[in-house]
Structure 1
Amino acid sequence: MIVTGQALAETGAESAEGGLDKSPLYLRIREVLAEAIASGRLPKGALLLEGPVATLFSSTRTPVRQAFALLEAAGQIRRFDGRGFLVGQGRGGPKRVVLTAEMLGLDEEAPALRKAPAWEAIYESLEREMVHLSVFGRHRINEVELARARGVGRQVARDALTRLEALGIVEKDERMRWTLVPLDEQRMRDLHDIRVALEPLALSQAAPFIPPAERHAMTLRLEEALAAYPDLSVEAMDGLETDLHITCLGYCPNRELLIALRRARFMLNVSKHIIGVSHRMPADEPFIAEHLAVFRALDVDDRARAAETLRHHITVSLPKVIDRVAELRVAHRPDMPAYATPVAR
């Protein structure tokens, strides 16, 4: 199984025997949580939230969200009328316990599964700032000023910029200077062309390898989100996008295909940083029903219909994204950070 994006970066932790454990991080998180539940260290009714659990594992929320989906499908945790999950089954309310490393077996002799890179502390807010700024044209990015503005070392700033470069948000010019790539309509169309051509193919190849329990958990999240819209957080919306476009496609065995898709995934980041943050939540839900149609086709193993439904979904999403970016350009002018300088056309 191949896992891309953040999950791909979060593989390869040291095993207890000192070797390299190549299983995806979300599976290792699932195993640790499952063992803690089975042993009783996590008591029945204990409230599990993505943020605190991610902190204990020195992880981002994405692999924790995936681990929760598997645990829910296995009946080890359950949803309730509130945020997060509760350990075990039943009708009782949440038991608010303070999660500790010891409860999960992550003591000094069994450390967290991955040491979080220093750049992660600044990355999410930096990505949002860069996406907003890219709407207003090309900018030169000063690495030294970025480090000073974020209160980090220059290497940390460089690592964050390198991550942004992998998504095509920034690039280096002929003099090896960092440049913010402008987000204009032509670029959005070009990136969507890549997604229309490659994502359906990746889904067709991934379909046999997506665990049914995980797929079922994703479908349930979509159904609940559709019923609750627009009362959804930006994080929840992003999680639904991640389920289909990153997690499911990540099971595609063709790694070269996934690498080719990586830069085009930038368009998901655009929507994430505009909807509900610097832009109003759309009156009509923007993609949930379309995602559900893809999963319905996967449920009956109709890969051709799933691929065609995904292709249609990506195609019709382009005008929505273009309109949101155009409205953002009119309604929102971000403050110019000290590390950015506009480049004249």
Structure 2
Amino acid sequence: MAGADGQQHRTLADSATAILHEAILTGRLPAGTPLRLTEMADLLGMSMSPVRESIRRLAAIGLVEVVQHKGAWVMPLTVEDAIDTHEARIAMETALVERAATRFTEADAQRAAAALAEHVAASARGDAPAARRAHTEFHFTIYRAAGSRWLLRGLEPVWENSERYRFATVTPPGQHEERVREHQAILDACVTGDVAAAVAAVQVHIRHAAERVLAKMNTDAVAVPPPRGPQARPAG
């Protein structure tokens, strides 16, 4: 029975984590929202134990802040954090795509192309959760080709935080096509093994994302310094 109870706890904790994770990323639980155990447990229809575990997991990936004896709340969204988040993405994703472009296989290309097609289709039909999953799968299919589990592990919490800012930014209709072109440029460069083009495409893509976020968050976007990052290096 102990084993069954433990499995049920893990299942409930997994469910609570998935629900709260999606709510935080999409803004249904806005930045700064207190995550009170009793309220969350009532909302999710489960005991406080799996909810407590889910909050611990979300804190481990940087989406929730927990202070002993004070409670837990959704991490705030700030200009400084947005800049730091996108700078970290540039550094890590540059390193990943630089390696991935030299190791990219036909199977990698097919999986990435399928994820990109689903991202476009889900966005067109207004299915934000499916679009987010496909967007993540597209990028991480490419980055997994780099063969670096430590870089991937390092990127995951940064990526999750970046998604919060992406959801908080309404993309004008004309920029959807621009983002599709940027994604396609990353994929094309990896397929052809053009390291310099892959690096440049990733950096342009992330910088444009940062610009949209900062323009949304600041009334005077010009005064906000752009995210730094390594510059594209010529191949060879």
Structure 2 length-normalised TM: 0.71
Deviations 1:208-262 (A, max 9, x none): 4544123134225536866997445324422442233323213333333223222
The answer for unaligned runs of 5 or more in structure 1 is 1-115, 328-345
Q: Name the CA shift for 1:268/1:122 in 2 (closer, same or farther; >3 Å).
A: same
Q: 1:293 aligns with which of 158, 177, 185?
A: 185
In 1, Cα distance between equivalents of 2:59 and 2:196 = 34
**Selected match of 2:78 from 184, 188, 201:** 184
Do structure 1's residue 166 and structure 2's residue 60 form an aligned pair?
Answer: yes
Structure 1, 209-218 or 314-323: larger mean CA deviation: 209-218
**Kept after mapping to 1: 8 A contact 2:34/2:74:** yes
Residue 263 of structure 1 pairs with residue 160 of structure 2: no
Shift of 1:273: 4.5
SS in 1 for 2:65: strand
- Identity within the alignment, %: 21
Q: Which has the larger radius of gyration?
A: 1
How far off is 1:174 after superposition? 5.0
Is it true that 1:219 corresponds to 2:113 in the alignment? yes
Give, in whole Å, the separation in 1 of the partners of 2:183 and 2:59: 28
Corresponding residue number in structure 2 for 1:244? 138
- The answer (yes or no) to whether the contact 1:252–1:258 under 8 Å persists in 2 is no
The 5-angstrom pairing of residues 1-345 of structure 1 reads 117-131=11-25, 132=27, 135-136=30-31, 138-173=32-67, 175=69, 177-219=71-113, 222=116, 230-231=124-125, 233-270=127-164, 273-274=167-168, 282-284=172-174, 285=176, 287-323=179-215
Alignment-mate amino acid for residue 131 of structure 2: M
Superposition deviation, residue 155 in structure 1: 2.3
Higher relative contact order (CA 8 A, sep 6+): 2
Aligned residues of 1:134 and 1:182 also touching (Cα < 8 A): no
What whole-Å deviation, never above 9, does each CA across 1:155-176 have from its counterpart, x for those lacking one?
2102221231132110222547
Find the counterpart in structure 1 of residue 228 from structure 2: none
**1:126, CA displacement in angstroms?**
1.8
Give the structure-1-normalised TM-score: 0.51
Query: What's 2:223 paired with?
Result: none
Tell me the amino acid that sits aligned with residue 260 of structure 1: G
Letter in 2 for 1:203: V
User: Any idea what the Cα deviations from partners look like across 1:91-130, whole Å, max 9, x if unmatched?
Assistant: xxxxxxxxxxxxxxxxxxxxxxxxx832333334422433
- Give a deviation string over 1:118-157, Cα, whole Å, max 9, x none: 2333334422433426755x34432233223311122210
1:142 counterpart letter in structure 2: R
151-160 vs 127-136, greater mean Cα deviation: 127-136
Q: Please, which runs of 5 or more residues in structure 2 have no aligned partner?
A: 1-9, 220-236
Amino acid at match of 1:123: T
Query: Which structure features the higher share of helix residues?
Result: 2
Distance 1:323 1:252, change over 3 A: same
Q: Is the 8 A contact 2:89 2:206 kept in 1?
A: yes
Question: Partner residue of 1:10?
Answer: none
- Number of residue equivalences: 208
Going from structure 1 to structure 2, the CA distance change for 1:196 and 1:218 (only over 3 Å counts) comes to same
Cα pair 1:119 1:156 within 8 Å, conserved: yes
How far apart, in 2, do the equivalents of 1:228 and 1:238 lie?
9
Does the aligned pair in 2 maintain the 1:192–1:318 contact within 8 Å?
yes
8 Å contact from structure 2 (residues 115, 138) kept in 1: no
For residue 157 of structure 1, give the secondary structure of its aligned residue in structure 2.
helix
Q: State the partner residue of 2:234.
A: none
